[in-house]
């Protein structure tokens, strides 16, 4: 056999996406180029790795087995890269973190000093919705997750990072009980606490559902309605006056951003080092980067 690393990479991407079109998009290659690489790789085996029925590409059982071996090859190549750096005296490894959307305002500041101190560490930071964060955690695809509400379906350990303060906001400070309420999608931690608050109030107002905090913020800025948003994500708008906090009894709502990991998970040396950094430096990080937020009333 005489396959190349590039052929392996293309083959794995086709297996992951089950589509030459999608694989070409993610690899930034043309579809003909992906097809040629896949054909050249498959030609080295007596048994088919994929087959096309109609217009749908399917992976054979043999193809899945080859893909699993290919993944191990790339894992070993990754290990080789880090081993070389270790011999140069550099602390190396990969740190994988998945972040529920509002955590994107917090976690970079809990990473910056650590990464500056350890240039050999590669960071993979995925900002997504809570359900995907929990799925990545359950599948053991990441070292840590950042959430504001603990998942119920998986046992985890945690370190509290910082308080999450949520305020009712509008594009004016005139509160109207007839104004539309703008919610995040089902499963969002912000959605959960907002529902709890307005359910207690017995609110029957018209509702709109949007899929990101940024979309909710833009809708509030446009005057479509009111929403409860994390203070951490609206600093600029509060300073310029385009968003106003509406003071109501029972607000702000408060949760906590948490760094969580699977219970009994054997953390890598890099993950252990990062966890030690967070525990040791948490108070300093809060004071250094979040004084305005901690002092806000």
Q: How many CB atoms lie within 10 A of CB 259?
A: 26
Residue 237's contacts (CB-CB under 8 Å, 6 or more residues apart) are: 217, 221, 243
Question: Which numeric CATH code is attached to 93-162+256-295?
Answer: 3.40.190.10
- In 3D, which of 227, 164, 224 has the Cα closest to residue 191? 227
- Rounded to whole angstroms, the Cα distance separating 103 from 122 reads 20
What is the per-residue pLDDT across 264-293, written as a single tens digit (0 to 9) for each?
898 888 898 999 999 999 999 999 999 999
Q: Say how far apart CA 153 and CA 138 lie, in whole Å.
A: 9
Do the domains 164-255 and 93-162+256-295 match in fold?
yes
pLDDT tens-digit readout, 108-162: 999 999 999 888 888 999 998 888 899 999 888 899 999 988 888 899 999 999 9
Average pLDDT over residues 162-168: 94
Is CATH 3.40.190.10 correct for 164-255?
Answer: yes
Q: Would you state the pLDDT for residue 261?
A: 97
Where do the domains of the chain lie?
Answer: 5-87, 93-162+256-295, 164-255
Tens digit of pLDDT for each residue in 239-257?
A: 999 999 999 889 999 999 9
pLDDT at 263 over 60: yes
Contact 222, 111 (CB under 8 A): no
Q: Look up the pTM and report it.
A: 0.70
Q: Provide the token pair at 198.
A: 């307005």
Element (H, E) at 256: strand 253-262
Domain 5-87 belongs in CATH node 3.90.1170.50: no
Peptide bond into 252 cis (omega under 30): yes
């Amino acid at each position: 056999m005489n396959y190349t690393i590039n052929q392996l990479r293309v083959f794995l991407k086709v297996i992951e996406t089950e589509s030459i079109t999608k694989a070409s998009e993610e690899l930034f290659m043309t579809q003909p180029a992906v097809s040629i690489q896949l054909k050249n790789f498959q030609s080295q085996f007596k048994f088919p790795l994929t087959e096309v029925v109609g217009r749908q590409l399917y992976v054979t059982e043999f193809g899945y087995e080859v893909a699993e071996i290919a993944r191990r090859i790339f894992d070993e190549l990754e290990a080789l890269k880090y081993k070389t750096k270790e011999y140069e005296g550099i602390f190396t490894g990969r740190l994988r973190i998945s972040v529920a959307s509002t955590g994107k305002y917090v976690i970079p500041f809990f990473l910056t000093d650590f990464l500056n101190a350890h240039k050999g560490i590669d960071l993979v930071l995925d900002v997504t919705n809570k359900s995907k964060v929990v799925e990545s955690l359950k599948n053991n695809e990441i070292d840590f997750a950042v959430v504001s509400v603990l998942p119920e379906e998986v046992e985890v350990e945690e370190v509290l990072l910082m308080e999450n303060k949520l305020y009712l906001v509008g594009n004016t400070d005139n509160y109207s009980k007839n104004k539309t309420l703008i919610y995040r999608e089902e499963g969002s931690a912000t959605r959960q606490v907002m529902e709890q608050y307005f359910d207690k109030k017995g609110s029957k107002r018209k509702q709109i559902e949007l899929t990101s905090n940024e979309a909710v913020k833009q809708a509030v800025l446009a005057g479509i309605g009111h929403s409860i948003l994390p203070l951490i994500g609206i600093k600029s708008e509060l300073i310029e006056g385009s968003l106003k906090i509406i003071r109501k009894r029972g607000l702000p709502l408060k949760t906590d951003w948490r760094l969580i990991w699977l219970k009994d998970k054997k953390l890598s040396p890099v993950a252990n080092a990062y966890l030690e950094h967070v525990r040791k430096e948490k108070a300093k990080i809060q004071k250094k980067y979040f004084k305005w937020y901690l002092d806000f009333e």
